[in-house]
A and B are shown apart, each in its own frame.
Chain A
Amino acid sequence: MSESSPHLVVRGVSKRYGPTTVLDHIDLTIRRGELVTLLGPSGCGKTTLLRAIAGLAQPDTGKVELAGRDITNVPPHKRNVGVVFQSYALFPHLTVAGNVAFGLKVRGAAKREIDAAVERALSLVKLGHLGGRRISALSGGQQQRVALARAIAVEPDVLLFDEALSALDRKLREEMQVELRRLLQDVKATAIFVTHDQDEALTMSDRVAVMNKGRIEQLAEPRELYLRPASLFALNFVGLSTRISGTVLAADNGKVDVETKLGRMSALGNFQAGSPVIVAARPEQLRLGEQGEANSAAGRVRSVVFQGSRTLVEVDAGAGESLLAELSGRDGAIPRVHDEIRLSWPVTETFAFPMEAQA
């Protein structure tokens, strides 16, 4: 199978629990070797989608294909998937090596083969020396690694991580993100992560699927997701932004003029005149002073937060609107609280979103 051919295909998958639609006709195609994150708030359906792929939740409609095989009605133990659970679910009655060997043992592999695979998997996660330990004798970070080794040892067609890093403390989590990504790339694993942590999603994935209310709102590379959010929800969920509400005055070929309480602005988007919209821009696009061909607004500085390489400045622009600018230290003078300042940002970095999708 070539690198770019579809490896995991989810087609029209829906799932309802009683009156609640948890998954609403999900389509998702993942290539071999790709690392994809399902990102969204709790209740958005991301875990249910992961469980549907693993075979732990049966979708009401739709199909799941893995490595060219229709697995929609295949029970989980015949799917060849690897799952790393949030709680790890390591078997407490087995040793570290016993846990890692479990998948191969139930497959009836030969002892020599099992021993070799266990050793390989444990050395991959840098726990080669702890094979004889009991699970209860391990730290949280070590347990996380054992769970990973256990899932990798069977060489699954896809690895599924259900909030797998969220139980670790922040520093360890950030280290694991980088290490895990490198490890998965080394073994050429195809993996899906479920998380509500945008930093984790941006760090770990080749592509991110932003989920909301049982739908995928946007599936894009992290950079594109940040620079070109497809919806107000995606904009809000990943990164910070300035958002101003207004009404479309005129529309012209992918560009709209919007009347806001802070004056007339231009933005990218396709709307009919009269539509209520939100115009938005990322904070690093906002600059002090005027620029040519740019939107601008003025106000009084409400807060200044120094964050090392950057400084976040929040401006009260009046009429209940506020502006958020991220200024780098090299931009010269950083304003102080209560200063009256004007900020401007390019029209090509200003987006209009329909108002009702407010998240």
Chain B
Amino acid sequence: MNKIIVEQDVLVLQEEDAVLDIRPNKLDLTVKGRVYCGIQDFTNKELHIQLEENSHLIIEFLISIENSKNKITISNGENAKLDLHYACTYKGENELIVDSILATSHNENRILIRAVEEEGTLIVKATGSIEHDTKDNVYLEDIKALTNYNYSIKVMPDLIVKTDSVMATHNATISPVDTEELFYLESKGLDKTHATSLIKEGFLKGIVENEELKTGEVK
């Protein structure tokens, strides 16, 4: 998979598989056809995604953030699909805003967010708006976080549904590292530190499909 260094604030991708190195603080990304994007660095950025008619974008973030405010907005053309996988570790004070607007029909937006705390806080505001006069849209939002024991994440979901013809769901789970998983790995001989970091890493990589992004072996 190739790496694209993005210097401008506008980018059009068509039938492309790439890792994006986004340099400007704001980017308008237009997607045509089937596109895969991997992102390894995303700090204090705004990304607007415009999905053209019949397009399909898989966009995966595997990032570490520290004192960062990120915003992602999504607009769908007719019959477009989005799979957004946002996996991050966070330190310091952070905010993530994800806004989806479905103003057309036959769309499928699946938004998966996984966050692992490394001493800090994260506020997630996720909004899905399904507009009037649209039909057969699917909107799924699944947010899971592994925190230390002070539960330093705040999730603010908002589903605004203005039509009858939609399937929209929201799920949020916040928990510390699973003690059964920890016991299992320790019982194989792993020390607590290694076992915990394997579980946290696995938790994030569990939603990332692209092997090169997972291993960090990008050309």
The answer to whether A and B assemble together is no
